[in-house]
A and B are shown apart, each in its own frame.
Chain A
Amino acid sequence: MASRAERRAQLVALDGTRHADLRGAARSLRERLASRKIRSGVSWWDASGVFFELGLGKRKHRAASPRTLLLLYAADLAFRLRWEIRPALAEGQTVIAAPYLDTAFAFGAACGLSREWLTSLFAFAPAPDAHFVTRERRRAGGGKVNGKAGFAEFSSAVVAESTPSFVPADAQRQMIAFLEATARRRGSRRLT
């Protein structure tokens, strides 16, 4: 049996549409890993502060298309990989990336962006060793542009501000359907 030191550090993707659910699921996942004596840490979205600063901006300047928001998410993910995920993995620590790629793909798909574009955009990000999705406890009517929102909620709210015909609740339904279908295909586990 492999000793703790010999165990390879793993990148665990945890995806979902609501930040509150991601927090709960990440806590539960860390407890499970700790019970197996596996050191782990969590890399949250917006570690670079890009979206936080965006939220501080004037509403008229904040209007952005889904593609612009995904480019910003990719920039934030590049930052997380550089400063959080890769260094922790190099030290032998398992990293829970919450959220990782599937949440961005779900948002992009809900907004009609092509899978090819999304795949190419995120080509710099390594494939995770394991995937989890949150069990969506509540279907929100729409997120807010504040620090408590996750990427999907924040971005839906930003798009809705400038595109009145965009309905965040519809987008969230599409994202959940996308995440569930992806999880079924991969055999990912759901976390409450």
Chain B
Amino acid sequence: MTATPARTSLTRVTKQKMPALLAEREANRGLLIAFEGADGSGKTTQRKLFTRWLESQGHRVVTTKWASSPLVKPLLKARKKVHALSPEELCLLQAADFRHRLDREILPALWSGAMVVADRYLFTSLARDAARGLDLDWMLHAYSPLFWPDLVLNFTVSLDTSTSRVASKRTPKFYDAGQDVTNLDDPISSYRAFESRVMREYENLSLIFRFVNVDGERPIYEQHKRIRLLFQEGRRAAWGEWNVEALTEWIEWTGAQEADHGE
């Protein structure tokens, strides 16, 4: 059976208005730049440097971090603490967290013209949860409609570098070390075993989704200069078909007021 949505009239109006709304917003919208890569690859350092630089260029910048929505973060934190999550539950809660941040932080900021810098994006879940054995196609559906970043920077380091950088700062947490799937008691050994799988998944994703790889073993300032250059040389493309679907849904359910203000 095909049910008629409860908000038929608003849905129809919004869909009719969407092309005009997007065209008007296109020139003034913000850009979304995602920083991805293994733990210890230096992406947070680079994200901070890049954010400072963007601000110095007069941009308004909004930073969004992985698993940080006020709605889902407490739920995730409590369950992670007692190691109570299966791979499916972890993936679904992270997908809910991501959707909530997309609706409440990322899209409103982009719509209002701010630059959004994401310290990890949905590719983190795709890589880690695929390394946990979940089906990539199922995960992509759970995260759909996808919202594509304007630039995805993938920081690459060797497994030895990643492990030594992580181990020098902290003991990896249970799920970050993949202890739920490796069944290894030692967090560092588990981290190595799990992260090697995650890195393989990142390599696959990088080919499929055309990430821009940044060598995380190069000097910090050299990496930063490359990122600036990539950003400056990047061509501003129109919102893709996937993004239009996500934007339409956001405007229907969450951002109608923000969109109206933009008219």
* B100: contacting residue among A64, A109, A120, CB under 8 A: A64
A126 interfacial by beta-carbon distance below 8 Å: no
With both beta carbons as reference points, the residue of chain A lying nearest to B1 in the complex is identified as: A181
A174 interfacial by beta-carbon distance below 8 Å: yes
* Residues of the A chain whose Cβ atoms lie less than 8 Å from the Cβ of B3: 106, 109-110, 174, 177-178
* A185: contacting residue among B1, B95, B141, CB under 8 A: B1
Report the minimum CB–CB distance from B69 to chain A (whole Å).
Answer: 8
* Residues of the A chain whose Cβ atoms lie less than 8 Å from the Cβ of B4: 174
* Residues of the B chain whose Cβ atoms lie less than 8 Å from the Cβ of A124: 88, 138
B7 interfacial by beta-carbon distance below 8 Å: yes
* A68: contacting residue among B2, B70, B74, B96, CB under 8 A: B96
By secondary structure, the A interface counts as helix
* A79: contacting residue among B2, B6, B89, CB under 8 A: B89
Q: A67-B249, A75-B96 are in contact. Are A111 and B5 (CB under 8 A)?
A: yes
A128 interfacial by beta-carbon distance below 8 Å: no
- What separation, in Å, do the CA atoms of A185 and B4 have in the docked complex? 18
Interface residues of B in 138-158 (CB under 8 A from A): 138, 141-142, 144
What 17 additional pairs, Cβ within 8 angstroms, besides A112-B6, A124-B88, A163-B256?
A: A64-B100, A68-B99, A72-B92, A72-B96, A75-B89, A78-B86, A78-B89, A109-B2, A111-B7, A117-B144, A120-B138, A120-B141, A120-B142, A167-B7, A170-B7, A177-B3, A178-B3
What residues make up the interface of A, taking CB atoms closer than 8 Å to B? 48, 50, 53-54, 57-58, 61-68, 71-72, 74-75, 78-79, 82, 106, 109-112, 117, 120-121, 123-124, 159, 162-163, 165-167, 170-171, 174, 177-178, 181-182, 185
What residues make up the interface of B, taking CB atoms closer than 8 Å to A? 1-7, 10-11, 70-72, 74-75, 78, 86, 88-89, 92-93, 95-96, 99-100, 103-104, 138, 141-142, 144, 249-250, 252-254, 256
